[in-house]
Structure 1
């Protein structure tokens, strides 16, 4: 009996050890294949395994976000990547926002279409990025009583979208994409190239009204110049409507497990960003307070709320003393470094200032020069100043604004020299003709 009891205790101990030390496995529904979300989840699963974390992810491939939401509703997966405008899982709670996609409407500059509300009777090309995008665009149009057939929707591929706008097959282009993603950047740049940069990004008037009537949508701002170009695109900040891709968990998923998962997700962000840029744009869901976070239209999982609130509170509790000591003893070192850096910048700026001052002097002196020899001397000096400026720019000792000023001064000095050279040479030619020293035509008749 003693041996049997001992064997039973050892067996129970072994079972308990395996149970408590084995990683918890969570199924996550994500798709379609090859999407940015799928790459992120695969990278996250690999990092959890490589770091021997207490959690493991088992990917459940699906065709689209609707199927992912269905699996979460039926309890076939504990996690899913969903898009609320397509389907909101009845039992799904938000853990994190993976990315935001926005409605981007492009028109040629000077078009009579000034905003989304003035698209009545026009042809709107919808760039195909997701099967739910036309419905998303229709939701926005419906707010202005512009749903088809008032506005004709034409489905386009990205490769042909700019050409269709250029050839007037459509009056405007609409796409639903992340402003920082390649789809938006490539489409906007191709449209800008087709019109020589003369395009406009239309704002969505009264976006808050749309989001109140369609609470699964969000009000977004597209920052000025986010797509670059010359001229910059967009020229001004643009208000629009968007929707977020969300990582959601089943409501019955263990609270502490969810908290640990969210902690791993954000702690591994830098490692995940090596595999996919999407990791750089992950963010916490909106939560003004615990009550609103769990009772909103799209509530957050209590485990996610626990992590985000605990992280905020425990940071100062854990490192507050060290932060105070570092601020106290490091202030002197920081001040010294700041003074040294300021001194170095001042010396660098003095050299560039000398170059700029001399270029301005040359610009003025060249206008008063009387001989070509004096202009040649100015040209040689401008070349020397140019080499000095290039040396500072290549070493990183001149910022972009200073470099631009030097370039303008160089162009001005060279232009003044060239203008004065032409004036002197023209005066010399006139003098030769008046003196009769110029070439003559001799008649042989």
Structure 2
């Protein structure tokens, strides 16, 4: 690597991650609320518009990118070889793909009547398997840890065998799409590999963003569909744009934290805002050709979102790391350190409610009451993570 980065956690990045997770839980719960303004929901695929809700997913991709240089620097400092480092990256990617694969099949395509157990129980057992495999065990012997993780793997295999889909109940689990976690996994993998190929150079990362945009344009142009060697590009346009957002996060980390350049804080802020302006300009120029759409993963949506993340992070960096106004970030710390656990808790809760044949009162999903409820729900989930951490339940891919 050609850059010099600390191997310690950066509080402003953790704060950004924690806030993003809180907003993510809030908007996911808000999605079921009726009678609220359109700007509090996802825009339709063809609307050529976006709301703050449409920025949550790219914000998480952006933060994944910001964390990559530090994670790689940390593992290299611990003595990992290139092979060990990339084995770790591949293992994390596989974990995200498996999680996304199971969660997507639990959302649709199933035939519950043909299954031996209810979908709610199937889902709960899936999350039990997730915890067994990816929990951080701190006080158990290695043989016990290996046994618990093996039990989790066996449980997931059994659940895959029990799953039934299709109208006649004869279909097995299928990758209908990769789910949010799976999409993050693919973008994370490609961005990590590109970061290493670019040897951590900012110019190389920016070249990667341009390359992703080029792949998207080429894929959408349709000229590659009839070329056997290039036909795969058409189906990877969305992944290319997601990867571009991750690379934007990497670029921002290098601008702010690469000690090799040792710029003043004023220079760092100027460069971050300049980078954001370049992204806005790119989005503006591309919008007439590729309308803003989160669903279609268009470059205009991606670059507007990444520019917003640059500005938000710059403000957090100034407040948390430079001005040291950071006591408030303590609430976000457990969730920021355990994003996977925080993400799956609502799904576990929903599956448990279905298993008990109950649900939250319907009045909680209407108008202003629904907005307040979604806020309370999000804060409660964040607090629950703190309690689970005390019970030594901590997930790490």
Structure-1-length-normalised TM-score: 0.24
Write 1 or 2 for the structure with the bigger share of helix. 2
Write 1 or 2 for the structure with the bigger share of strand. 1
Higher relative contact order (CA 8 A, sep 6+): 2
- Structure of greater Rg: 1
Structure-2-length-normalised TM-score: 0.26
